[in-house]
Structure 1
């Protein structure tokens, strides 16, 4: 009887924990608020971006489930990878082939979406999960009112991306990675409210965007994988334009095997003046920088916790 009692108590506690689970959301309701969210300020709460949605055991990259797991633990935006199937359905998939991240093999572009019905995603260790490849439409609809998604540039025609974002009225929470001012110009010709993550890794690239007259208040600047002293002038120029600076740790600091050193590097990125840190491990970044509630922060109004 005692065993049954203890099991019952455990189940009740477990159910209560599930029912009381919070999610940490970025509440942004319009394109104008999205632009405001990315306005740098010394008081701001640091912004974390989950690279490919966040990559941890049991939760595959570029999956809704990975993002859900992250926002149960921290506020975050997400960088994602759209690709198209043979029949032009836009899905999330980083690689050109299915081999590394699913139980299928071959090129994604060789499959119609209906042929992927039994295709299951694998986590970073190659362990198959029950999660399936999401369509971009599903992800845009899921993310509304919860987070911001940043769509990287893969093999999807710009027109298809613009068409879908506009059709779903999603310029309030979807932004686009651009590698050249001409790409930003195209998207702005479709909707002048688009927000961008622009590759501005040096002063030469900074000047290209300046000369192209892309609205500075509608972009953040990806400056590279490292926080470097020689980028001090670039940071200063970007901040003078009210542009947030983003460093990506996915290919650099995330690879550190020593947890203490890795956490120190995450902190140093922000101490050196960056505003956003993109990482495969957004939950670890949140632990490292130990975000505390700061109601005086300029961007605090966008950070909310919702009990589910």
Structure 2
């Protein structure tokens, strides 16, 4: 196997990717935050799959441990997830403000206690009620240790609470935070210098703002948008020169194409165009398309 072929594998050799015989999961384990930072440094031809809310495939409910495990039985992956607060301020894994779409409950997440929410069951992508229950953020963080990377999206958790939870678990080598501006990035790095981030920078103004902030480039990946377009090349060139990987999310775009072959062609094109990370509602399908 030549050097170019090796780099097309999911991670560099610094990332410990194994298949657990006990759970039959493709897992990633980092001994330190520094080892994780090094593994996510840009290199040509690197291809990383991110499960958007886990997956909606195989009848799995989004934002659930069973969904994450379903993906890891097929491929190494990282996961973007959505913590939201209950009435008694427990972060739980529900994307929407309301419960109807993803559970057999009704009303707002914030109107229920954690104990009450545990009585509900999750729905799959087609609205069918499953046997799976809502997971708390603490449960997911404990589960993910030594298995994968979690990227916490920003819902209604205060930044201070999110930082405190990561600190409680000392999870700097497997939990990231999504940040939408320089102020949020500065906050997290003042809380802990090893905090890794998924930074939203979608245009020149956002790029200029970050570049002038003096913040480090070796603590982040960059989400640049949901589609392939010519203007992305300038972003790729800028960030790749600084060792930063760029991510495209196909969840609102190419995942919605009608046929599997159409979707596969776009998934391949995303990587060929310069992205290193593809976030998708269909990560198992992506893994099959880009093998």
Taking structure 1 as the reference length, the TM-score comes to 0.86
Aligned residue runs from structure 1 range 90-169, under 5 A? 90-169=91-170
CA distance in 1, matches of 2:30, 2:56: 25
Q: Which of these two proteins has the greater Rg computed from alpha carbons? A: 1
Q: Which has a greater percent of helix?
A: 1
Instruction: Work out which structure has the larger RCO, using CA pairs closer than 8 Å and 6 or more positions apart in sequence.
Output: 1
Residue number in structure 2 paired with 1:218: 219
d(CA) in 2 for partners of 1:189 and 1:42?
A: 31
Name the residue aligned to 1:67.
68
> Any unmatched runs of 5+ in structure 2?
1-20
Q: 1:234 offset after TM fit, Å?
A: 1.2
Give the root-mean-square deviation of aligned CA atoms.
1.1
State which of 38, 52, 56 in structure 2 corresponds to 1:36.
38
What is the rounded CA distance, in whole Å, between the counterparts of 2:77 and 2:206 in structure 1? 27
Once the two structures are superposed, residues 132-179 of structure 1 have per-residue CA deviations (whole angstroms, 9 ceiling, x without a partner) of 110100000000100000000000011111001001010100000000
- Per-residue CA deviations over 1:241-287 (Å, capped at 9, x if unaligned) read 11100000000000011211110100000000100000000000000
> Is the Cα–Cα contact under 8 Å of residues 26 and 74 in structure 2 kept in the other structure?
yes
CA offsets 1:15-36 (integer angstroms, 9 cap, x no match): xxxx776211122221111211
TM-score (norm 2): 0.91
C-alpha separation in 2, matches of 1:255 and 1:268: 16
Task: Quickly say closer, same or farther: Cα 1:231–1:117, change in 2 above 3 A.
Answer: closer
CA contact (8 A) 1:57 1:123 kept: no
Distance 2:43 2:121 in 1: 42
Retained in 1: the 8 A contact 2:118–2:134? no
1:94 Cα deviation after fit = 0.4
Q: Distance in 1 between matches of 2:199 and 2:113?
A: 32
3-state SS of paired residue (1:176): strand
Q: How many residues are aligned here?
A: 271
- Post-superposition, which runs of at least 4 consecutive aligned residues in structure 1 deviate over 2 A? 19-22
